[in-house]
Amino acid sequence: MIQEKFKEVLATVLPISILVIIFNFTIIPVDNEYMLRFIIGAMMIIIGLTIFLLGVDIGITPIGENMGSRLVLSNKIWIVAAIGLLLGFVISVAEPDLHILAGQVEKVTMEILSKNILVVVVSIGVAVLVSLGMLRIVYSFPLNKFLFIVYIFILIFGYLAESFFISIAFDASGSTTGALTVPFILALAMGASSLNKDSESAEVDSFGLVGIASAGAILGVLVLNVFVKPNLNAIPDLSSTGKIGIIGPFLHEFPVVALEILIALLPITIIYIIANKISFHQNKRTTQRIYFGIILTFLGLVFFLVGVNAGFMDVGRYIGLYLGEKGNKLIIVFVAFLLGILTILAEPAVHVLTNQIEDVTSGYVKKSTVLMTLSVGVGIAVALSVVKIMVPGMELWHFLLPGYIIGFILSYKVPSLFVGIAFDSGGVASGPMTATFILAYAQGIASSFESADLLLDGFGTIAMVAMTPVIALQLLGVVYKSTAAKEDSDV
């Protein structure tokens, strides 16, 4: 199992790492200190993500599956809602991609907008929507109508919100549905959908909860802005990281990150201990295996986040700054497009998704077609997010509003299964490399252009990437529907 995880992670991190090394020897000479920290950071990410994913499989996902199965046995609506609320919060609080985004927000706002506040607010939004989403599954309320209602609220709060908060909100939607959250939420969705006696409806309803959770993250941040109007005039100088030495930054990050992750994983651990005493009654061997999984999750997260914070992201930012200062806009956009394609092709969760789509369409929609559509789509999304930074007056909502309008129009034209898969896949597309390297690259570019505002333009890349599958996969759904209809008419 660990060999498979290692290969997955290696395939995720290696392409961008190799690209950086090629850049270093060709068009972008990187300072030796930065480069050594980047290599150490990449190695720590590979080790950390491998251990983390193994820990999630052994410890975290089984907790979600047990909770999901208890929903079936309880057969009580209020228990479904309560468990969704509780678990939605505690699992989102521990999501590593969310911690990375929140840390970057704290950094660029000079700690005016606290990392912990953002993590908690996003997690509350996720919790409320996961709870409502599980009730939707039980009552078989159509997903496209449910999401339409939720996004109407997002539109209203978005109209009232500041541009910076809109960027953060939609970035949070992609960040909160990561490697920890997705398998857990899917397990809960399967548990809730099995309460539905109609097996075909249950299969359709098991998709969509991740997309609903993402919408909760958006609402959480937008509602925060209704009550909090921070004065965000001070902007940090990102051209200097303030980190001196090679090993020093890693030693500095270790205790800080370890404490954060310990606090983040504590709630889910306590819930498991209580649930096991009251309801699960698992044997000693199973219990020890889950505890071991939680410990692995903790160790993996610490290694991963230390690698990201102390070395990996700085080089992404440096490359963005360097290219921005050189002023060749064509190269900036091309590198962004290349990073987008590499990210998707190397993301293990995307390959799981493409196999899933090929299976549910009985081979009508080929894996290679889905992969090509997604990779080109995400490449364009990252490129457009960089164009947004370079063109004065262009804002994130200029892309998101028409994008989601197209997404919702398509949701009424395609089979329900495609709607669920498409909205679930935003978090799949915006994986760890998007939350780290590509986000840092965009911030570097935003810092180097005088016409750009780091607060307004430095974020939004994750949001653009997360929107891509919503459109791309539903377009494939249209193709599948028309192909199936044509074959039926020929018969």
Model pLDDT for residues 124-151, shown as the tens digit of each residue: 999 999 999 988 988 889 999 999 999 9
Range of the domain at 109: 2-481
Structural domains counted in the chain = 1
The chain-wide mean pLDDT, for the chain, equals: 88
Q: Would residue 314 count as lying in a domain?
A: yes
Q: Would residue 415 count as lying in a domain?
A: yes
> Is pLDDT above 70 for 300?
yes
Q: Would residue 487 count as lying in a domain?
A: no
> What is the model's pLDDT at position 416?
86
> Is pLDDT above 60 for 240?
no
Q: Would residue 86 count as lying in a domain?
A: yes
- Can you tell me the distance from the alpha carbon of 250 to that of 252, in angstroms, rounded to the nearest whole number? 5
**Confidence class of residue 280 from pLDDT cuts 50, 70 and 90?**
confident
> What is the model's pLDDT at position 480?
84
Q: What are phi and psi of 115, to 5 degrees?
A: -60, -45
**Confidence class of residue 75 from pLDDT cuts 50, 70 and 90?**
confident
- Cβ atoms of residues 165 and 42 within 8 Å: no
Q: Would residue 72 count as lying in a domain?
A: yes
Token readout for 462 is 């994750």
**Confidence class of residue 404 from pLDDT cuts 50, 70 and 90?**
very high
pTM of the model: 0.89
Q: Would residue 46 count as lying in a domain?
A: yes
> Is pLDDT above 70 for 197?
no
> What is the model's pLDDT at position 290?
96
**Sign (positive or negative) of CA dihedral 96, 97, 101, 104:** positive
Q: Would residue 490 count as lying in a domain?
A: no
Q: How far is CA 89 from CA 121, 127, 265, 307, 398, in A?
A: 10, 5, 11, 26, 31
Q: Would residue 353 count as lying in a domain?
A: yes
What's the Rg (C-alpha) of the chain? Answer: 22
> What is the model's pLDDT at position 224?
94
- Cβ atoms of residues 221 and 170 within 8 Å: no
- Can you tell me the distance from the alpha carbon of 378 to that of 347, in angstroms, rounded to the nearest whole number? 12
Token readout for 355 is 């196999």
Q: What is the mean pLDDT of residues 103-127?
A: 93
- Can you tell me the distance from the alpha carbon of 348 to that of 90, in angstroms, rounded to the nearest whole number? 25
> What is the model's pLDDT at position 259?
94
- Can you tell me the distance from the alpha carbon of 78 to that of 82, in angstroms, rounded to the nearest whole number? 6
> Is pLDDT above 60 for 90?
yes
- Can you tell me the distance from the alpha carbon of 400 to that of 485, in angstroms, rounded to the nearest whole number? 31
Residue 284 CB coordination number (10 Å): 7
> Is pLDDT above 60 for 270?
yes
Q: What is the mean pLDDT of residues 449-469?
A: 89
pLDDT in tens, 363-386: 877 888 888 888 888 999 999 999
Smallest Cα–Cα separation from 35: which of 320, 321, 315?
315
Residue 327 CB coordination number (10 Å): 11
- Can you tell me the distance from the alpha carbon of 205 to that of 134, in angstroms, rounded to the nearest whole number? 9
| Burial of residue 74 (number of CB atoms within 10 Å: 0-12, 13-18, 19+) | middle
Percent pLDDT > 90 in the chain is 55
